[in-house]
Structure 1
Amino acid sequence: PNLRGWGRKKRWEYWGLVSETHLVGLTIASLDYAGLLHIYVLDRRDGSHFSEERVLPFGIGVRLDDTLEPGRAEALGRLKMAFIEEEIAREANGRRQTRIVAEGKRIQVDAVATSRGEALGVVVPWSDVRFQYTLKDVARTLEGTVRIDEEEITLQGDSCFAVLDRGRGKWPRQIVWNWAAGFGVIGGRSIGLQLGGKWTDETGSTENAIFVDGKLHHLSEAMRWEYQRSDPKGTWRIRSEHIDAALTPFHLRHEKTDLWLIRSETHQAFGTWKGVARLEEGEEISLDGLIGWAEEASHLW
């Protein structure tokens, strides 16, 4: 499979940045006929939030490389973002490092996200001509600054982390997905949680994994998701043979887009995880206290 041709290609780079006080989501996306730039900011202290968005006809001003590990993703204009792979640093320590910069009306970001080890890369095939390559790296360290209005937030320490969602593929016109992520340091070990659903059904692929101190433990079974997407306090529970995880929300984000060719709706719960993961080797990993999110997103694009 490849990305030649025009019309059904979807490319994106999403970074979720988490600190003790804020969550920031940064998206650069190209749908062939449009580029989408989106920033979402949540203040964990009081629940206030805002978003900034731009739609660029035919993706003009958006660059997203199709190589396995893109060196650069960027968008220029009134809403600026760039995610730059730091090749020298990566070669020096064997890990991936990305410079993340963004500038909107109310927010400026200048940070570096460094991998702790392995990431999950999966190809999801729907047919001979429809497929998606996804890469999830949910446990990166995060250092730098975020400036929101007149407040500057320093990013450092184990309470700060970054989540990468990279996508390249040719999608069906309509799709629904679930995605969950989380991270924390428990008992001196870094624990990352990555779970998905709906969009991978009946493909033979899953994007489910646990990361322990940078080591990937892939979970091949499908997950059972239970949630009430309109309940701000409702628990999102995900279970399988190896996972029993529940997210208690501290904030529920709901966004809808209706732009002629593009219609989407997202229900995303930010919160605290509790539960257990059982590795193939039999070890049980506590998920209690991980910070992250779970979502349902539907797209007509």
Structure 2
Amino acid sequence: MIEREITERVALTTPDGRFHPAALGWSRTPLHDTSALGRRAWGRNKRWEYWNVMTPQHILALTVSCIDYLSLHSIWVLDRTTGVSSDMTVVVPGARSATLPPSHGEGPARARTRRLSLDIDDLGAAGTRLRGTAPGVEFDITASRPDGHESLGVVVPWHSAKGIRRFQYTVKDVARPAHGSLTVDGATHAIAENAWAVLDHGRGRWPYDVSWNWAAGSGTVDGRVVGLQLGSQWTDGSGATENAVVVDGHLSKISEELVWEYDRTSDRRPWRIGGENADLTFTPSYAKRSRTRALLISSRTDQLFGVWSGWVLDDRGERVVVDGIEGWAEDVRNRW
């Protein structure tokens, strides 16, 4: 598969909100201007910021999102030792509870509801500050941005007989070192070492019914920081992939539709993901299964956390071993 690398600023849509063909491609840093997305097709536009932070003791996930006609915000925390989790998800009609930047890095993301508060602030070279409160949970964490750190930005189109009317711009930023504090039920936990943050920044215009796979991993292997980013289903046949590996900040794009083999009903059975450029095994240890039904939307998310093994090829044709890095693999279906 041949994918075009974008190296200069480009608009995702025209000024009136139509898809801009020049936006097709991928980048090593966020270069897409998404500010005109909402000027067309109200009800199909989706915007979100999702962060996941894995520490040796906890897993934290937070979401600020708006899908035109409603907003969904969440904070989820898992104690990895006890298996006890806390989940606060709030669905609010309309967009008033959500503040989202027009483009990546161009302002804060905020969620404000009676039971949940979230603040995501870009600190430039210092990284991204993540703060939030919910019943029994409070956190203040910075996802550092090391010098030269690259992330995957890619535009995925859905082709139709009338052209490209549905499309998604995503930034997947893996292996961001994290530090700060997390308080759960009055006990404060320092986050200092072996903690990794991952970002999913999304701006797009989606079909109503869609399924996807997403997998990510972060950690240190043989003294090198390795980040793994993989996706499937929603990208199949589009001419684009969201597959990449990051080693010590350098991103190598994997322009191949990898084959995913897994049993969605099993909490423990390994997943296999492979092709000419990868041979990977994901062994789960915890399953987070969530279902949402609210107004016009329904969603099924089966997200498994665990450990990776195997290898991927970098852009020099060398095998990057990922043995021991931690992360997740998920299977999702949304009607929204």
**Equivalent in the alignment of 1:35:** 71
Letter matched to residue 85 of structure 2 = H
Letter matched to residue 73 of structure 2 = L
State how far apart, in whole Å, the 1-side matches of 2:295 and 2:317 are. 50
**Equivalent in the alignment of 1:166:** 201
**Equivalent in the alignment of 2:154:** 122
Return the offset for 1:63: 0.6
- Within the candidate set 125, 138, 142, 2:174 is matched to 138
SS of aligned partner of 2:312? strand
Deviations 1:178-222 (A, max 9, x none): 000001111111000000000011111110000000000000000
Deviations 1:13-48 (A, max 9, x none): 000011000101100110100000111111111222
State how far apart, in whole Å, the 1-side matches of 2:183 and 2:134 are. 10
Return the offset for 1:76: 1.2
Q: Does the 8 Å contact 2:100/2:107 carry over to 1?
A: no
Q: Does the 8 Å contact 1:232/1:252 carry over to 2?
A: yes
Q: Does the 8 Å contact 2:289/2:301 carry over to 1?
A: yes
May I ask how many residue pairs the two structures share in their alignment?
293
Matches within 5 A, 1:37-76: 37-76=73-112
- Within the candidate set 98, 101, 104, 2:134 is matched to 104
Return the offset for 1:260: 2.6
**Equivalent in the alignment of 2:6:** none
Q: Does the 8 Å contact 2:104/2:201 carry over to 1?
A: no
Letter matched to residue 142 of structure 1 = A
- Within the candidate set 314, 321, 334, 1:279 is matched to 314
SS of aligned partner of 2:236? coil
Q: Does the 8 Å contact 1:180/1:293 carry over to 2?
A: yes
Return the offset for 1:223: 1.2
**Equivalent in the alignment of 1:93:** none
State how far apart, in whole Å, the 2-side matches of 1:66 and 1:164 are. 17
State how far apart, in whole Å, the 1-side matches of 2:202 and 2:138 are. 24
State how far apart, in whole Å, the 2-side matches of 1:255 and 1:133 are. 25
State how far apart, in whole Å, the 2-side matches of 1:282 and 1:219 are. 11
State how far apart, in whole Å, the 2-side matches of 1:68 and 1:142 are. 19
Q: Does the 8 Å contact 1:115/1:137 carry over to 2?
A: no
Aligned-residue RMSD, C-alpha: 1.1
Return the offset for 1:70: 3.1
Return the offset for 1:97: 1.0
**Equivalent in the alignment of 2:9:** none
**Equivalent in the alignment of 2:4:** none
